[in-house]
Amino acid sequence: MKCKKFLVVMCTNNHPCVSVLVPVYNAAPFIAATIQAVLNQSMNDFELILLNDASTDNSEEIINSFNDKRIVYARNKQNLGISATRNKLVSMARGDYIAVLDHDDICLPQRLETQVRFLKENPQIAMIGSWFELFSPADTPVWKRLVVNMGWVWCQPLFPDFKDAWRGNVLMHPTAMYRRALFQKHSIRYNPDYTPAEDYDLVCQALEAGLKLANIPQVLLKYNLHGNNFSLRKKEQMRIADRNIKKRIRNHIYPRPRFFYPYFLLIIQKLRLKFMMGKENV
């Protein structure tokens, strides 16, 4: 049996290089696959912190079935909501870099290694994301699986700015990695007033602080479009929060746009099929 090879990225202090942060709420159908994908990463120097936001299913039992010293597990005594849970996760992190992940998505094996290397080679960049591929699990309707699992990839601009952010969130949150110390320096935290678009607001805060963002033009994550995604269940709250963030962004753009960018144009701009892309991107 061949031993798996890991890239070990050493840190100067006695702490992990990367903290992978996963908020968990009623994630029983997904969490095992999400955890295993992180444990299978090509680099080994990370901690995986899972914070259970008072789930009512057997998520805790599934998490406790894993025996790996890199896993840190905690549970909220009561449900705090996604933004407060994300902030608590950040306060628990010890890594130089924070890698964000949702409880139903799948990291590809090279994700952490690729993103850490990029940040080390580009010290001017504070936060990076990547492209991701949509997938629909086996228990979704057949028609949906046929459409979603065709190989759709969500693409983002390489070096996004306020003009890009005006159209929509320029860095998809489950793919994000950022420098923990730099975000602490600028007091950038998740704001519950913008839930469920707290990720979009986080990106806006980073831009407002003058930080540089980037996206690696490579698929590093599989996004689980199962239909019960938090953002899909909170459509009206998402619409309001999205509109309020765009109003803030408009103040940074000259000339200021008069109309909000239509979402269907954003989809046309960013959603592509694998066969339309070069092999190096997939």
pLDDT tens-digit series, residues 74-85: 999 999 999 999
Rounded Cα distance between 274 and 282, Å, is 7
Q: What is the pLDDT of residue 230?
A: 55
CATH classification of the domain holding 130: 3.90.550.10
Let me know if residue 90 belongs to a domain: yes
Cα–Cα distance for residue pair 158/128, rounded to 1 Å: 9
Res. 215: pLDDT tops 80: yes
d(CA 183, CA 169): 18
DSSP assignment string, the chain: -PPPP-B----SSSS-SEEEEEEESS-TTTHHHHHHHHHT-SB--EEEEEEE-S-SSSHHHHHHT---TTEEEEE-SS---HHHHHHHHHHH--SSEEEE--TT-EE-TTHHHHHHHHHHH-TTEEEEEEEEEEE--TTS-HHHHHHHTTTEEE---SS--HHHHHHS-SS-GGG-EEEHHHHHHTT----GGGTTSHHHHHHHHHHHTT-EEEEEEEEEEEEE--S--HHHHTHHHHHHHHHHHHHHHHTTSSSPPSSPPPHHHHHHHHEEEGGGS-GGG-
Side chain identity, residue 77: K
Would 202 be classed as within a structural domain? yes
Does 240 score more than 90 pLDDT? Answer: yes
Does the structure show a pLDDT above 70 at 2?
A: no
229 belongs to a structural domain: yes
Residue 172 lies in a domain: yes
pLDDT beyond 70 at 229:
no
Strand partners, 146: none
* Residue 139: per-residue pLDDT: 83
Cis, bond preceding 255 (omega within 30 deg of 0): yes
Give the rounded percent of residues in the chain with a pLDDT score beyond 70.
Answer: 91
Question: What digits encode the pLDDT tens for the residues 17-44?
Answer: 999 999 999 999 999 999 999 999 999 9
Q: Which residues, 6+ apart, have CB-to-CB distance to 6 below 8 Å?
A: 41, 42, 43, 44
Residue 13: its pLDDT value, please? Answer: 56
With a cut of 60, say whether residue 183 has pLDDT above it.
yes
Q: At residue 195, does pLDDT exceed 80?
A: yes
C-alpha 218/C-alpha 281 separation (Å) is 4
**Residue 249 confidence class, pLDDT cut points 50, 70, 90:** very high
Task: Check whether 232 has a pLDDT greater than 80.
Answer: no
Residue 279 covered by a domain: no
CA distance 229 to 29: 12
Q: What percent of the chain has pLDDT over 90?
A: 76
Secondary structure E strands in 4-142: 18-24, 46-52, 71-75, 97-100, 106-107, 125-135
Total domains in the chain come to: 1
Query: Is 280 part of any domain?
Result: no
- Average pLDDT score, the chain: 91
Least confident of 48-57, 92-101, 177-186, 249-258: 249-258
In this predicted structure, the answer to whether residue 3 has a pLDDT above a threshold of 50 is: no
Q: Per-residue pLDDT tens for 168-182?
A: 999 999 999 999 999
In a domain, 106, yes or no: yes
> Range of 219's domain?
18-274
Q: Is the pLDDT of residue 214 over 70?
A: yes
- Give tens-digit pLDDT for 111-145: 999 999 999 999 999 999 999 999 988 888 888 88
Tell me if 217 is assigned to some domain. yes
Question: What's residue 4's pLDDT?
Answer: 38
pLDDT digits (tens, 9 = 90+) for 265-279: 999 999 999 877 766
